[in-house]
Amino acid sequence: MKLTVVGGGSTYTPELVDGIARLRDRLPVTELVLVDPDTGRLPLVGGVSARIMAAHGHPATVRWTTDLDEGVSGAGAVLLQLRVGGQAARNRDETWPLECGCVGQETTGAGGLAKALRTVPLVLDIAERVRRLAAPDAWIVDFTNPVGIVTRALLQAGHRAVGLCNVAIGFQRRFATAFGVAPESVALDHFGLNHLTWIRGVRVDGQEVLPKILDEQADRVAEDIELPVELVRRLGMIPSYYLRYYYQHDVVVEELRHQETRASAVAGMERQLLEMYADPPSTTSPSCWPSVAARSTPRPRSICSPPWSPGPATSRSPTSATTGRCRSWPTTR
């Protein structure tokens, strides 16, 4: 299967490629194509991605292109991870609502709506090209925020599409670790849409354990999602971290007005990442990439990771994103 990633120049892409490589026996990818208009970023991320696939011994061909139509032609699946306007647009989405006393966030509220208005028309244009050029049974996999709105737009336009959000599976894996079982032994009663979600049931091997979690671990859960423990106990559910924006709206607005925006923090981390690959290799041969010594860089806190981490330490994955450029189809996440 040919798998095309639109927005392939994103710094999310290496993590995605690592997952594809690890699932080689379950995901029969023979060709991986990264599509992005950013000619400065694309060969860097493409080269790293090719090295990841090779390190796992994956036989798929990895290539990259700025030509959207050529990239999706014949694809069996097309994954979308876009950020129209790049981090500059995200910065506006997350700051201008504060002037009106509202939280600015890229998936919900005023900021999410602004992002949707920029994103949906572009995604629908890409989807029409996929319908015309990709394999007849091709799926569109949407990982572009706001996922709920974008995926609904795709479905209403009649496209074969599915939206992805990592919150539910992240909770499942953390609960599995807490109880020392395999992830498939944990079933969640998880409801809501994208980041506006709650967990109202956790079953381990068929046995309901959420009351036990809220009784014995409520303080830790509340601390991780930054909500009052009394609220969590009163709800009888575990909200997504994003619900903090609403349950404690005034507190969050005041904090955001006096701290560096999340977009600025992500952009700073992204610059550090790109500096690690400052010596550009050949743009035609991934094998020309130089070795890069491992280094440790400060990472901003992620709000996209599953919020609860069992045990004494809380672990969150770093958030990374791309700056992108607004061109004819600006497709970086």
Residue 242 falls in the annotated catalytic set: yes
Which value, to the nearest 10 degrees, does the dihedral of the CA atoms of residues 304, 299, 267, 142 take?
-30
Distance CA 236, CA 98 (A): 31
Residues in the chain: 333
What percent of the residues of the chain are helix, what percent strand, and what percent coil, each to the nearest 5? 45, 15, 40
| β-strand pairing of 186-193 with 161-163 | unpaired
Distance (Å, whole) CA 140 – CA 155: 10
- Report the DSSP pairing between strands 77-80 and 61-65: unpaired
Pick the closest to residue 11 from 273, 261, 312 (CA basis): 273
The rounded distance, in Å, linking the Cα atoms of 25 and 21 is 9
- Residue 201 has phi, psi (to 5 degrees) of -165, 140
76 within 8 A of 66, measured Cβ to Cβ: no
Tell me the angle at which helices 13-22 and 42-55 cross, rounded to the nearest 10 degrees.
Answer: 20
From 12, 241, 242, 245, active-site residue: 242
How many Å apart are CA 4 and CA 154, to the nearest integer? 17
Backbone dihedral region for residue 206 (phi beyond 0: left; psi -120 to 50: alpha; all else: beta): left
Q: Which residues are catalytically annotated?
A: 242
